[in-house]
Every structure is written in structure tokens, then in C-alpha cells.
Amino acid sequence: MASNSFDVIVVGTGAGGSTAMKILCEAGLEVCALNSGPRIDIKEDYRGHRQVYDLRFRGFGNPLRFQGKAHQEPYSVEESEYSEGRDLFEHDIAYSNAPGTDWYWKRCKATGGKANFWGRSSARFGDIDFKAADLDGFGENWPVDYAEAAPWFSKAERYMGVASTIQNRPSNPDGEYLPPLPFRCIDFIIQKGAERIGVPYLPDRCAQLTVWHNQHPSCHYCGNCSRGCDVGAFFSPTWFTIPDAEATQHLTLVTNALVREVLVDENGMARGVAYVDRTSRREVEVYAKVLVLAASCVETAHIMLNSKSRHWPAGIANSSGELGKNLCDHLYGSPGYGYLPQLLGQPARPDDIADSTIAWMPRWQNLKNPREEKFIRGYSVYMGGGCGEFPGYYGRIEGFGSKFKRDIKRYYPTTIDALIQAPSLPSATNYVDIDAEKKDMFGIPQLRFHFQWGENELLMWEHSKQVMIDLFKSMGGELWGADDEPNRPGTSLHETGVCRFGNDPKKYVTNKWAQTHDVGNLYICDASIFPSCTDKTTTMPIVAFTMRSCDHMLENFKRGVHQRL
């Protein structure tokens, strides 16, 4: 590094951090971005077009790769032999679960973070989400409403490229879309069945390029998205924001830099960060006028809780005591899976165009009356299936040997698998703190999770199982079953809360611009600011709210609130 002082330091280069880097660099600021892991090498790390028989461990990865690692579980979906080869995922930094908690913390430490491999579902939040407290009396509203957020959603969509249709449902607001992804064969059948039971079944909003967009090529529908796209036909920091930031020549990107704490000056304001250079294991300090934390929700809270000083004995910017509180997540699990007998014997056609659920059932519950159901708020459902390369339903069929193989072939491509996305409610008992007893391999105090599913989301889970019974009946499907329990908390990768934004400094960590109430030159650009979870996913809103926060920050630079170097 030629210099160790910058206008802005950004911690994390995922969807949030890399968007901040791009905007701030394009405005001419000198930005240092710190990323805890290595730089993605597209040629080395995205291995989508290989066949499993070309891979040494048939796609499952080296079974010995976790030897000696602090965190030994493989990460479902995103981590496989297609992506794990160069140490892209975090298995070295340990974390704790409080007794009774089973949080599954999946982390991609490579540049670009999880959006290298994400599912691309990109719906807008609406006033049903922002003003949920007004509607059902639970919790608090967001400090912004749809009218204020909408132009930022448009800006994010226009940049990322999101494919969908206009649907005229205020609970699931329409945006600015590329042409939609075509339905799979199963979608037409499910849609008819869903109509009969009064449930919407519509194209999802998917950040996948159905046409050339902002000099990025359109998708060639290989279905390899969760292994990383080798041509950049969906939004990812690796193809979009990081190259844009680098093109300005105002970016200094430091990899393998694990940030430990925020450093403060004599007034308690941020003056830089201390990080561990994971290659040399040396501790390094870098300084800046303004700091952006975008290390991904709970990791942002981890860094802040570990940033203790005379000014901030309970962690930086934590005079409210709210840092780490109100952790929310999406409850995931399959409320129903089975097959469509009418498709037995039909030839397969290459309709696995998105390696994702291209259609969904956006929230339909509690729309007219917020307390119509036994639960408040609402959930959405995605339907998996179609002619994927790998028959993922093999685990749903019993048997072994040649009959088992015959059955797998027989049911291809007739199976469908529902996935519920149910928001947990903010709760005083769901939070993260620092484990006083344990430190990671670099001596950094570990993050500890305290989390249980609440009654509200478990009622949604039960409700969705009944809907699946009705749906399978109405579409002439055969229901094989449902998951006995929801997936482990953390599985969805849509955690929110822990640094919530709001107007009252006594109740919220940041103001409505994601600038911490206590420390004016410390901003947060990830989903930790979202005060509550919705039935929609988080990434497009992370990009949108980051754009909005950076706009505010740039205004503060202009007005002299923040000084340049």
C-alpha cells in the first residue's frame, strides 16, 4: 500500500461494500477496501461448465478439506467442489452458539462475498413492510416509507438488471424490469393449481440478464448460477461493482485483511481500523476520514462490539445498548414436496434456465386485514423443480441399487419442492454478543448467537404445509411429504437487524441514512440496519439503501460535514 490514509475505508466487498466502493470512487474519493479473504479469480474459481465426473471428488469436494479448521461444516448449495478449491469460504474463524441455539453461519470470505453465488431473487419492499407496525401494532415502522425508498430501488434495479413483469400488487411493488425469464413447464401447471386455491403464482424478480444490460451479456441459460457465472450475466460484485470501482483508479483493494476493530480518536470518532493480515499474521492499521462497515450483518455487529474504548465501553456507537439486538432471519424449509404424475414419461426440455426459482408465490396472507390469520405479517414460497442437470430430489426417494436408479429416472423431470420464506419477528431473545470465554485463531473474541424460531413464524410454517396439501390436490400432484422441521436458523442467508436504523438515538444504532447516531463518520451498508424482516430477500435492498447512504455521505463531504484528506 502506497499510503495508509484514505478519504474512506470500506470493510467488506460484498453487495453492500462493493456498491459503496463504486459510488464513492466514482465521486473521486480515495477509497481503501478491506476484504477478509482472497480475491476471486473467475477462471480458477468459477467451475460451472465441468461435469461431476471431471471433478476429483465428483462435486462433493475433498472430505479432508476441513481438517484442523475451526468451523467444519460444509455450506449447502454455494460451497461444493465447484467453488471450494481456493479457500473462498470462511472455516477458520470460529463462532459460538449459546445453549439451545443452532445458528448455521455461512460466510464467503472471497471478494464479492455471497453474491458471487446468490439466488438473485430481488423483490422490492413495500409499505406493507415499512409500515408493518402501523398495520398490526407489533414492533416499529422503518424510518423510511415506500415513496422515499422507491427511487433507490429503481436506481439499484437499473444498475443490476432485474427480470420480471408488472404485476400490480402493492404488497409486492413493481419495479423497472428487463423481460422476464420464461416459465418452466411445471410453472404453468403450478400456476393453474394455485389460481384455483386463490394463491398468486408469478414470475419472481430475478437479477439475471435476459438481454444485454449495461455492457453485460445476456444469460446463456446454462443453469450454473450458484457456482458463479463465467460471463457475468447476473449481478455480482465480481462482474459489476468491483470492476467499476477499479476503473476509477481511486480504489486500493486489500485482500486477506481481517478487520478486528474500529479505531477512535480522542473524541471517540472513527479514525481507521486495525486488521490482521492473514498471510503474515501481522496486525496493521489504516486510517480514514470516514468509515463504512459492510461486513455482512452480524459480522458488522461483531466488529463494532469488539471496538471497545474509553468512549465506547460496550462497543462503538452503542450508547443505545441496541447493538447486536433483534437478530431476524427467514425461516426456510420445505412445507411440501412431491411430483406431477401428468408429466411422467414426458421428455425433458432444457428449462432449468436460472438454477433458481424463477417463479414464486409472493405473500398473499394478511393483505386485506393484517390479523386475518393466526399469525401476523406473511410469508412467500418458491417452487423448485424442472429439468435441472442433477436430480436433486434423489434424497426424497427411498431405496437403493438399480431400482433406486430407475425410480430417479422415472420421476425426472416431474418433481417439485416448495421452499417457504417466512420472516421472524424482532425479539429481545434473539441477538448476538461477544463470547467472553472464546477467541478465534487470531485472538479475536468470538461472536455468539442467541436465536430461536418464534411462535409467529412457526405458525406460518404450519400454515404453509396446509397450503401445500391444498395446492398439490388442486394441480393434480402427488404430495410425498414435508420437512419434519424448518431448516436451521442462518440457512437462508437473509439475516437482518442487529444495527437497526431509526430516528431515535436511544432505540436505534444508526439514523435513517445508516450513519451511526453516536459516531457521525461511521456508516453501515448491509442488512444489519433493516429493522425487521419481510417476506422478501435482502440483496437488492442492500444495494439500494447503500446507494442512498452514499449519496447522503457525498452530500456531507460537499457540505464540509466530512473533510477529505
Ligand X SMILES: Cc1cc2nc3c(=O)[nH]c(=O)nc-3n(C[C@H](O)[C@H](O)[C@H](O)COP(=O)(O)OP(=O)(O)OC[C@H]3O[C@@H](n4cnc5c(N)ncnc54)[C@H](O)[C@@H]3O)c2cc1C
Binding residues for ligand SF4, rule CB under 6 A, total 14
What is the footprint of ligand SF4 within residues 170-209 (CB under 6 A)? 208
Distances (CA, A) of 258 to 1, 30, 278, 422: 16, 20, 7, 32
Query: By rule CB under 6 A, what string of x and - marks binding of each residue 33-52 to ligand SF4?
Result: ---------------x----
Query: By rule CB under 6 A, what string of x and - marks binding of each residue 228-247 to ligand SF4?
Result: -x-x-xx-------------
Strand partners, 382: 360, 419
Binding residue for ligand SF4 (CB under 6 A) from 171, 224, 307, 414? Answer: 224
Answer yes or no whether residue 296 interacts with ligand X by CB under 6 A.
yes
Using DSSP, state whether 307 is helix, strand or coil.
Answer: coil
Distance separating alpha carbons of residues 448 and 195, to the nearest angstrom? 44
For ligand X, the closer of residues 47 and 339 by Cβ is 47
Query: By rule CB under 6 A, what string of x and - marks binding of each residue 174-213 to ligand X?
Result: ----------------------------------------
For ligand X, the closer of residues 27 and 303 by Cβ is 303
Answer yes or no whether residue 172 interacts with ligand X by CB under 6 A.
no
Segment interacting with ligand X (CB under 6 A) among 110-118, 134-142, 240-248, 343-351? 110-118
For ligand X, the closer of residues 135 and 156 by Cβ is 156
Q: Rounded to the nearest whole angstrom, what is the least distance from the CB of residue 300 to ligand X in the complex?
A: 8
For ligand X, the closer of residues 189 and 316 by Cβ is 316
- Cβ(526)–Cβ(296) under 8 Å? yes
Which grid cell sits at 213?
444490460
Selection from ligand SF4, ligand X, none that 117 binds (CB < 5 to 8 A by kind) is: ligand X
- Cβ(47)–Cβ(227) under 8 Å? yes
Binding residue for ligand SF4 (CB under 6 A) from 173, 180, 223, 426? Answer: 223
Q: Rounded to the nearest whole angstrom, what is the least distance from the CB of residue 346 to ligand SF4 in the complex?
A: 22
Distances (CA, A) of 460 to 78, 330, 421: 27, 11, 9
Distance separating alpha carbons of residues 389 and 555, to the nearest angstrom? 49
Distance separating alpha carbons of residues 242 and 21, to the nearest angstrom? 8
Binding residue for ligand SF4 (CB under 6 A) from 156, 222, 298, 420? Answer: 222
- Give residue for cell 481503501: 32
Distance separating alpha carbons of residues 151 and 78, to the nearest angstrom? 32
Binding residue for ligand X (CB under 6 A) from 45, 78, 244, 483? Answer: 78
DSSP string, 310-322: SS-TTSTT-TTS-
Distance separating alpha carbons of residues 410 and 403, to the nearest angstrom? 10
What is the footprint of ligand X within residues 487-546 (CB under 6 A)? 493, 526-527, 537-539, 542
Query: By rule CB under 6 A, what string of x and - marks binding of each residue 47-76 to ligand SF4?
Result: -x----------------------------
What is the footprint of ligand X within residues 12-51 (CB under 6 A)? 12-17, 34-37
Binding residues for ligand X, rule CB under 6 A, total 40
**Which residues 6+ apart lie within 8 Å of 254 measured at CB?**
1, 32, 33, 34, 35, 275, 286
What is the footprint of ligand X within residues 361-400 (CB under 6 A)? none
- Cβ(164)–Cβ(206) under 8 Å? yes
Binding residue for ligand SF4 (CB under 6 A) from 220, 374, 406, 558? Answer: 220
Answer yes or no whether residue 262 interacts with ligand X by CB under 6 A.
no
What is the footprint of ligand SF4 within residues 340-369 (CB under 6 A)? 355
Binding residue for ligand SF4 (CB under 6 A) from 6, 159, 177, 221? Answer: 221
What is the footprint of ligand X within residues 114-153 (CB under 6 A)? 114-115, 117-121
For ligand SF4, the closer of residues 122 and 300 by Cβ is 122
- Cβ(326)–Cβ(499) under 8 Å? no
Answer yes or no whether residue 556 interacts with ligand SF4 by CB under 6 A.
no
- Cβ(141)–Cβ(133) under 8 Å? yes
DSSP code for 116: G
Query: First CA to last CA across the chain, in angstroms?
Result: 16
* Chain centre to alpha carbon of residue 394: 27
For ligand X, the closer of residues 135 and 535 by Cβ is 535
Quickly count: other Cβ atoms within 10 Å of residue 293's Cβ. Answer: 33
Answer yes or no whether residue 219 interacts with ligand SF4 by CB under 6 A.
yes
Q: b/e for 488-513, b at 16 or more Cβ within 10 A?
A: bbbbbbbbbbbbbbbeebeebbbbbb
Selection from ligand X, ligand SF4, none that 224 binds (CB < 5 to 8 A by kind) is: ligand SF4
- Cβ(407)–Cβ(394) under 8 Å? no
For ligand X, the binding residues (CB under 6 A) are 11-17, 34-37, 77-78, 108-109, 111, 113-115, 117-121, 226, 257-259, 294-296, 299, 303, 493, 526-527, 537-539, 542
For ligand SF4, the binding residues (CB under 6 A) are 48, 208, 219-225, 229, 231, 233-234, 355
